[in-house]
Amino acid sequence: LKAREVEVALSAVAFLEMLITSASCLTFDDFEDTKKSAALSALHRTMSIIHTNVLASSLVSVCEAASQEVVGPTINLIKSILKHSQWDQIEGSIGSALNSNQFKLGDAAREIMFDNLKQCSMNGYPPANFDGIIAEIWQMHQTDDTGAIAGGEAVAEFVKRYFRQQAT
């Protein structure tokens, strides 16, 4: 990404993260019933889009050529969405994103990513190695080295390391 595109991406990620955090704190107690119902309906539609489309787009961006400056904030956005989502509402979006052609690391790496996203959503907080897993997924997608493709040495090491951690 060019400098301006990075700046725009960082601003968008920051905005979305603040929106998610703010929405979880909103109350409409002072609204009359019809306005309260309309406001809640609009908020739920907006949050549903964020919980599904933005989450899927963020996961796909980790597998594409996103700039390194955007990866950390994107990981934070993903964690925020997962924290404020119900697993059954986002499971399909996560599955679609990880089963897309952009995810090139194979089934075992996909399963590690899926399980960590699920754990983060179900527990309300990420596993200790969450940021590292996503950062490594991003790093492996940035190289043209065949070791980063499913079945390659880098992916095999990643799978060996994180499958062992999941088992403990």
pLDDT the model gives residue 17: 93
Reported as a single tens digit per residue, the pLDDT across 61-91 is: 888 867 889 999 999 999 999 998 999 999 9
**Residue 137, Cβ neighbours under 10 Å: how many?**
24
How much is the average pLDDT of 90-101? 94
How much is the average pLDDT of 48-67? 87
Q: pLDDT band at residue 56, thresholds of 50, 70 and 90?
A: very high
pLDDT the model gives residue 144: 63
Q: pLDDT band at residue 143, thresholds of 50, 70 and 90?
A: confident
User: Who's near 165: CB < 8 A, 6+ residues apart?
Assistant: 129
